[in-house]
Amino acid sequence: MLDDLKHEIANMVANATNTTPEEVLPTIEVGRFGDLSTKIAFSLTKENPAKLASDIAKKIKKTKNFEKIEVVGPYINFYFSDSAYTVILSDIISKKDQYGAGKKKKGKIIVEFPSVNPNKPWHIGHLRNALVGDSVARILEFDGYYVERVDYIDDLGLQVAQSLWGFLNYDIDPKGKFDLWLGEQYVGVAKRFENEKDIVKGVRDALQAMEEGDNEIATAAREMAENCVRAQYETAFNFGIYHDVLVFESDIMQTIFQEGVDFLKNADAVVLETEGKNEGCWVVKFSPDSEFGKMENPDKVLMRSDGTAVYTGKDTIFHLWKFGKLKNKFNYKPFTKQPNGKTAYMTSPEGKSMDFGHASEVINVIGVEQKYPQKVIVEILKRLNFKEAKHLHHLSYEHVALPEGKFSGRRGTWIGYAADDLLQEAKELVMEKIKLDLPKIEKENIAKTVGVGAIKFSFLKTSADKRITFKWEEALSMEGDSGPYLQYAYVRTKGILRKTKEKASISAITFNDDEKKLLKTMAQFSDIIARCSREHTSHHLAQYALDLSSDFSRFYTTSPVLSIDDEKIRKTRLSLTLATSIVLKNALNLLGIECPEQM
């Protein structure tokens, strides 16, 4: 509806000026003074935009959707009429869970997250990655994109080799949740790896066997990695996070790696160095005037002289697959049936061909420390003359730290701060606060819903590029700017609606200021979704949900719903309450926050 009103203004202003609606639309924004404003006068003159704005306003023919038009400086401000507010309210109630959704768009977007090494549980740093990736994927999907959620599993890394050595030689009796047990074992092996030469050799031998594949060590490594990821996904499911496909590094090496190497060697952008320190290596050379040219070592090695690929080379090949540039295809088989009813698949030589990959756009949710390597991948794709280079995005996020410093997987400072620990702590805290006389199982379900909501909102309300210092008391806050506050606002709307058998309906009434404020905020929902989709972020949506809840609270305080005698006003306010429940639930769903029916 807000888009319709913007187009209406664009037509009115275009008819009053020597412009087109297409020229006017970008100048319209949520009003600085009115409900919507245009700064078209800025675009048409630099000398006296305020006078021009006044002249334009005098020529505009007002429609039934606007009660008044006024000028403040260079801005022409439009105020909605009661008729417009009525249409906004009707639009929300008729569209329900599709209110704010974007039109279907072409292409596929791959969102890769969280890509945690398969030898430890998710700690709260990994959780931030997963929550950011999940919410952005939800928003993009709601905005009309086809989204494929990809999880890259590096089952050939040194950390996995260390865990495998420990598993085969140190302790083969898993206790409790497998990822937590394996992570704690890894901490012990990593410490011994620093000082004991026999362990160093054993781990290096294991790593070599893993990379070669098709042997007992490689099979054991893959089995261990899959078991660890299954345990990690128990955590993911508890937070409502799901994937479409898992791509294992071991399958990359066995299926597409050599084709990718040949592809790069035959590309003009990649050259074989015949002298110097990079002799025998395949590199991408960056000119002195490029972004990377002023670095001490500007040329980027993709393949070493011994034929092995460096991280950037392997990542480039993976992105060739993501964008559908390679002929060889992975096979896939089911990995697990997820609580949302969908199957997550994984790459596997024993599987079958499926239509994963071939994206038109890729978003990688990776920590800020990977900013340079991600830029290099984009630049390499540009050198390969792939138009897709401009559609590869690094969704950079800052890490989560404790007040005393950073997490370290190797030193084990994450122990006690696993995502599972956080959830358990949250549930226990919520259970203490539940006053409802309900069976224990229902209380536990509420505790989980509210606890997860508190955790998710505490992470998502902050822009991903800002550092978070984790504090239990803030993450599990049940009041103020928190997930439980938003969930309670939703529960309040449902409680009001349950108290009456009267059905909500909309009449032509004169809306008061708080009703108008609430409706105007709800009308902005599609704009917020479009902005979050465009910027690949969710913190604007989190703030929007807070604003909407605050506006509803003010409306509920000043505008009695059930006790007012006037039937038309009462039923219309019931409609306002229903509309708020719809928009708030849509917003929280996109943040991955479940809406309970009671708290």
Task: Supply φ then ψ for residue 157, to 5 degrees.
Answer: -80, 170
Mean pLDDT (whole number) for 550-561? 96
Cα 121 from Cα 419, distance rounded (Å):
8
Mean pLDDT of the chain: 92
Cα 38 from Cα 41, distance rounded (Å):
8
Chain centre distance of CA 402: 23
Chain centre distance of CA 167: 34
Instruction: Compute the radius of gyration of the chain from its Cα atoms.
Output: 28
Residue 436's pLDDT band, with cuts at 50, 70 and 90, is confident
The side-by-side arrangement of strands in the sheet containing 332-337 is 332-337, 343-347, 245-248, 146-153, 108-112, 361-367, 392-397
Compute, in degrees rounded to 10, the torsion defined by CA atoms 80, 83, 89, 91. -100
**66 pLDDT higher than 80:** yes
Instruction: Name the H helices within 45-196.
Output: 49-59, 82-95, 124-142, 158-169, 178-193
> pLDDT digits over 328-386, tens only?
999 999 999 999 999 999 999 999 999 999 999 999 999 999 998 899 999 999 999 99
Q: Which residue has the higher pLDDT, 493 or 412?
A: 493
Residue 479's pLDDT band, with cuts at 50, 70 and 90, is confident
Whether a cis peptide bond, with omega within 30° of 0, leads into 114 is: yes
Sequence-distant (6+) residues with CB within 8 A of 47 are none
**409 pLDDT higher than 60:** no
Residue 94's pLDDT band, with cuts at 50, 70 and 90, is very high
* DSSP string across 527-546: HHHHHHHHHT--HHHHHHHH
**410 pLDDT higher than 60:** no
**530 pLDDT higher than 70:** yes
Residue 193's pLDDT band, with cuts at 50, 70 and 90, is confident
pLDDT the model gives residue 306 = 86
**305 pLDDT higher than 80:** yes
Chain centre distance of CA 279: 42
Give the DSSP H or E segment for 38. Answer: strand 36-38
Both tokens assigned to 388: 């897709």
| Domain extent listing, the chain | 2-80, 426-590
Both tokens assigned to 247: 């791509």
Q: What is the 3-state secondary structure (H, E, C) of 258-320?
A: HHHHHHHHCCCCEEECCCCCCCCCEEECCCCCCCCCCCCCCCEEEECCCCCECHHHHHHHHHH
pLDDT the model gives residue 320 = 97
pLDDT the model gives residue 525 = 97
> pLDDT digits over 121-156, tens only?
999 889 999 999 999 999 999 999 999 999 999 999
Mean pLDDT (whole number) for 197-216? 90
> pLDDT digits over 512-522, tens only?
999 999 999 99
> pLDDT digits over 261-286, tens only?
999 999 999 999 999 989 999 999 88
Mean pLDDT (whole number) for 523-536? 96
**SS3 state of residue 352:** strand
For residue 144, the tally of other CB atoms under 10 A from its CB is: 15
**412 pLDDT higher than 80:** no
Domain 426-590 indexed as CATH 1.10.730.10? yes
Q: What is 2-80's CATH topology?
A: Gyrase A; domain 2 (3.30.1360)
Cα 537 from Cα 37, distance rounded (Å):
25
pLDDT the model gives residue 294 = 66
Place of tokens 């309210």: 89
Angle at the Cα of 451 (from 450 to 454), degrees rounded to 5?
85
> pLDDT digits over 176-192, tens only?
999 999 998 888 888 78
End-to-end CA distance of the chain: 33
**244 pLDDT higher than 80:** yes
Greatest mean pLDDT among 84-93, 196-205, 280-289 lies in 84-93
Residue 293's pLDDT band, with cuts at 50, 70 and 90, is low
Cα 463 from Cα 489, distance rounded (Å):
23
* DSSP string across 386-406: -GGGGGEEEEEEPPEEBTTB-
> pLDDT digits over 13-27, tens only?
999 998 999 999 999
Instruction: Give this prediction's pTM.
Output: 0.93
Which string of b and e fits 562-588 if b means at least 16 CB within 10 Å?
eeeeeeebbbbbbbbbbbbbbbbbbbb
**84 pLDDT higher than 80:** yes
Angle at the Cα of 252 (from 249 to 253), degrees rounded to 5?
90
Compute, in degrees rounded to 10, the torsion defined by CA atoms 378, 382, 387, 388. -20
